[in-house]
Amino acid sequence: MSNVTVIGTQWGDEGKGKIVDWLASRADVVVRFQGGHNAGHTLVVGEQVYKLSLLPSGLVRGKTGVIGNGVVVDPEALLSEIARVTSQGLKVTPETLLIAENVPLILPVHGALDRAREAARGDRKIGTTGRGIGPAYEDKVARRAIRLCDLTEPETLDWKLDELLLHHNTLLAGLGAPTFEKADLMKHLLDIAPKILPFMAATWDILEAERRKGSRILFEGAQAVMLDVDHGTYPFVTSSNTIASNAGTGSGMGPGAAGFVLGIAKAYTTRVGEGPFPSELHDEIGRQLGERGHEFGTVTGRPRRCGWFDAAMVRHAVRVGGVSGIALTKLDVLDGQKELCICVGYELDGKRVDRFPSSPAAQARVRPVFETVEGWSGSTRGARSWADLPAEAIKYIRRIEEHIEAPVTLLSTSPERDDTILMKDPFDS
């Protein structure tokens, strides 16, 4: 099986969209297997910029896109996204986009609860997008979710909405937020059903048929390992498992589906929202990285926090994420820096530690241990071969490889599709 799974190895926003778009030229099917419309991938194709949240990036390449059962879907957000990219010239039809019939749906009540709880946290807020992803996953686990297939059975919706609102309205009332009427939600779902049901399919059977044909399947992860609900900087994480082993669970293909796991990492580090960030820069260099890297959240528009490359964190992501090789992005943002730092470990209560602690209190106390390396004066932007790179840039990449214990198999030197240096094609592994 020549499948490839792409995951982020930091806190998201590593440039997965471009890499997935680039790899999609070699794939037959592209699958989203977790997350919701709190994720965002920006694809630059010539003069056209596509901002995707739920749609698999392969649609831009004209490939079949699958939204697997591990995703939570806001029908209104999805239909709005389809309308937007259609106006940009993309073709999104029930033949090109397939949605698993058992995906849980995000309803207006989920977003309302998400925002009310975040407001109630005050200074202890997590930094959610307020789009209802967490509450929707909670409903899935609690077995009260409204799933896509339920839209075909109004009688099922009737009693399921009773159970769902018994829970959510109680919480909303306790938080002092407006509650929801069953009739309003029922109308919302029945109005939207004919627009989204044509995309519904038994996607796991379709993917199995593709596997038997020998098709190349590309799994597109959202967020990143350090936002994984189990392995990330809990509780400042997303509500799903972002690691590659979830590709099988979130698509129905089984544990061997992931294939070659390509981890995406920026040549520096960024984070949106709250939570620990040991290598964060609060100085002029941090500001420059943000400006040169255009560091604003694709979904939220919030400015990203910027810092030096955290090799200890990526090493953890490589281990728990099963990463086979790294795609290093945005190397050009570091052009012109006289010196660069790599976080190679942490200091916690006077002791050296090599991994991020699980305890939130300990996470807040860790301090970075830096290694300083020489920067470069030349430009890496648009480089398409190793010969185009300054010697110091190559040395920087080699030091990263040593510290993260994984090879850099692909290098991105600008947002443009073809500004890519390939050392090893993941599909040929």
Alpha carbons 147 and 151: distance in angstroms, whole number:
7
Which uninterrupted H or E stretch holds 347?
A: strand 339-348
Single-letter amino acid, residue 133? I
Alpha carbons 286 and 317: distance in angstroms, whole number:
23
Query: Pick from 120, 178, 168, 123: which is nearest to 144 by CA?
Result: 168
DSSP, residue by residue, 170-238: HHHHHTT-----HHHHHHHHHHHHHHHGGGEE-HHHHHHHHHHHT--EEEE--S-GGG-TTTSSTTSS-
Check if 13 is active-site: yes
Cβ-in-10-Å burial (0-12, 13-18, 19+) of 138 comes to: middle
CB within 8 A of 359, min separation 6: which ones?
A: none
Single-letter amino acid, residue 186? M
What is the torsional sign of CA 57, 10, 236, 103?
Answer: positive
Strands 260-266 and 325-329 turn out to be parallel
CB within 8 A of 119, min separation 6: which ones?
A: 125, 175
DSSP, residue by residue, 33-63: -SB-TT--EEEEETTEEEEESSS-GGGGGT-
Check if 188 is active-site: no
In 10 A of CB 301, how many CB atoms?
A: 9
- C-beta of residue 297 within 8 angstroms of C-beta of residue 237: no
Query: Active site residue: 21, 37, 41, 231, which one?
Result: 41
> Within the chain, what is the greatest distance between any pair of CA atoms?
67
Query: Pick from 40, 116, 47, 37: which is nearest to 304 by CA?
Result: 40
- C-beta of residue 179 within 8 angstroms of C-beta of residue 169: yes
Token digits of residue 230: 């189990």
Query: Pick from 297, 315, 308: which is nearest to 396 by CA?
Result: 308
CB within 8 A of 242, min separation 6: which ones?
A: 7, 8, 34, 35, 221, 222, 223, 224, 225, 227, 228, 232
Residues annotated as catalytic are 13, 41
